[in-house]
Structure 1
């Protein structure tokens, strides 16, 4: 069993709007700071590639579904494969977003903690971005 962290936040936007935004892989660069320094290139509808620190990264997105599931898997060459298990659901007139990550085999605690802080930063950026958008 591996340690996990779940980060949850409320986004003051309707759930359908948040889900539609996050279900589109092209929006990833608008709310992540640490990952994308190169353009995303579609390999197929739900698999994209980019580079991070000069290394190729393949990003797998869950296709849209009726369950609020928005999982993302990052495959980094010679590095840890990272799964982001994302759920969105209605919370009153807003959206609750929960993202769970597991510490990978061989990943030290400090690296995992750092990854979780990057995730927290990105999710706060997402919240700010979506709440500032006009519909």
Structure 2
């Protein structure tokens, strides 16, 4: 497989990175800000199960860590496995949250742009929640 096109979508949040990481890294909190997981996540061993328009997806998160890494692997019913890099990084007294959007094989430029826009909406929702 060749290298896929990538776009890093990020937003600044005026709150300590550790607090943002603590909230955003908990799967049970994700439906409040990650619209693709709005139906909620159900724990199944080390994985979490999400029900969505494409059916069930199995999600496995990186272990809790001191680096702000919330990377996760999503496996769709079709067997397609997608790696999602999500990071919270200190920025002064606040932080940056960054999601690397990859252009999957067969994805049009329009679909890629729509995917990045969707991620930005979710990050804006997280920002609103964390800055309250």
Kept after mapping to 1: 8 A contact 2:12/2:97? yes
Residue ranges of structure 1 left out of the alignment (5+ in a row): none
In structure 1, the partner of 2:83 is 83
Deviation of residue 38 (structure 1)?
2.8
Residue ranges of structure 2 left out of the alignment (5+ in a row): none
**Residues 1:44 and 2:45 aligned together:** yes
Distance in 2 between the 1:21 and 1:129 partners? 10
Assess, with a 3 A threshold, how the Cα gap between structure 1 residues 81 and 64 changes in structure 2: closer, same or farther: same
Distance in 1 between the 2:81 and 2:100 partners? 14
Kept after mapping to 2: 8 A contact 1:83/1:101? no
Q: How many residues align?
A: 130
CA RMSD of aligned residues (A): 1.7
In structure 2, the partner of 1:16 is 18
In structure 1, the partner of 2:115 is 115
| TM-score where L is the length of structure 2 | 0.88
Structure 1 ranges of 4+ moved more than 6 A: none
Distance in 2 between the 1:29 and 1:54 partners? 17
Assess, with a 3 A threshold, how the Cα gap between structure 1 residues 40 and 106 changes in structure 2: closer, same or farther: same
Distance in 2 between the 1:54 and 1:71 partners? 21
